[in-house]
A = this chain, B = another copy of it.
Amino acid sequence: MRQLHHPNRDEILLSSVLYALSDPARLHIVMRLHDQDELPCSACSDLEIAKSTFSHHFKTLREAGVIFTRMEGRQRFISLRKEDLDARFPGLMESILQAAAEGKASH
Contacts and interface: CB of A to CB of B under 8 A. Distances in A.
Interface of A: 12-16, 18-19, 21-24, 27, 88-92, 94-96, 98-100, 104-107
A96 B106 CA distance: 19
Contact of A99 (B21, B89, B104, B107): B89
A104 B17 CA distance: 11
**Most chain B beta-carbon neighbours within 10 Å: one of A94, A99, A100:** A99
A99 B92 contact: yes
B90 A98 contact: yes
A107 B7 CA distance: 13
Q: Which 4 pairs across A and B sit closest by C-beta, in order of nearness?
A: A19-B22, A18-B22, A91-B95, A92-B95
B105 A99 contact: no
Contacts of A96: 14, 18, 89, 92
Contacts of A91: 91, 94-95, 98
A95 B89 contact: yes
A12 B107 CA distance: 10
